[in-house]
Amino acid sequence: MPSISDMYRLLAALFALVAISGAVYSINDLVDVDSDRAHPVKRARPLAAGEASRFGVVVLALFCVVVAVGIMQFLTSEVYLPIGIYLIMNVAYSFGVKQIPYLEAAVVAFGFGLRLLVGSMILQINLSQWLLGCVFFGSLMIVFGKRLSEAANHPNSRRKVLARYTLPALTIVSRLAGLMLMAIYVGWFFEIVNSGTQRSMAPLLLSIVFLGALVARYLAVVRNPISESPELLAVRDRSMLLLGILWLACFMLGYV
């Protein structure tokens, strides 16, 4: 059970990552300001709408980096490397990687794995390779699904990377990522079974069914316009919301 001090450090790491993300998003808005002005939704962003100056955004980005560095002084030095990689990787993404199909999606998905790694270092727990694999391929499925929705609903988008994808290819890779997610999750289940660990196997077995149904439902509606915002899809699609709750309940009953 994590101690109070562990939770404080975890919260500090969260704020550091949020500050780093703030710097990255500010840089990204600077780079994309012209294309954002032509986007039906992104044109409302402060910089694209002319409500913020370029100089102000640069100052904000630097401030976020300073805040992140200050917070990191209270954390174990082990997290410096993954947080540094996270920053460098996302800056590289903003300045060119995001124009490289498939690699740009992998970078976004890898970022979620880095956040998980930082959390495990703060709590000083061994990070399960199965969990890391599920997070990576689950994130990859969602990123490819988001690109598929964008490409299907905005064929004339000024987002350059979309022109380098095809709808059939995006459909295939999103499904492959979903299959990998399920394969790793099932592999984790059988490792639990073979290890003889005292777990409630029936709820865990049911969790496989519900997770599979959740993945299938996501892939079935992925071309809908709302899939461009996965967080909105998760709460507005009642089937996904119900399947997600059922999966989490079974997972908690079986594993915790």
Q: How many C-beta neighbours within 10 Å does residue 121 have? A: 22
Give the pLDDT score at 75: 83
How far does CA 91 lie from the centroid of its chain? Answer: 16
- State the burial class of residue 155 (Cβ atoms within 10 Å of its Cβ: 0-12, 13-18, 19+): exposed
Give the pLDDT score at 218: 96
Residue recorded with tokens 């997070």: 135
Treating both helix axes as pointing N-terminal to C-terminal, what angle do 201-221 and 129-153 enclose, rounded to 10 degrees? 20
Q: Please report which helix (H) or strand (E) contains residue 93, including its range.
A: helix 80-94
Confidence (pTM): 0.86
Give the pLDDT score at 62: 92
Q: Which residues of the chain register pLDDT less than 50?
A: none
Give the pLDDT score at 32: 80
Give the pLDDT score at 100: 95
Whole-angstrom Cα distance, residue 173 to residue 15?
33
Domain boundaries of the chain, sorted by first residue: 1-92, 128-256
Whole-angstrom Cα distance, residue 183 to residue 188?
9
Residue pair 131/181 in contact by the 8 Å Cβ criterion: no
Give the pLDDT score at 144: 96
Give the pLDDT score at 1: 56
Structure tokens at 253: 């009953």
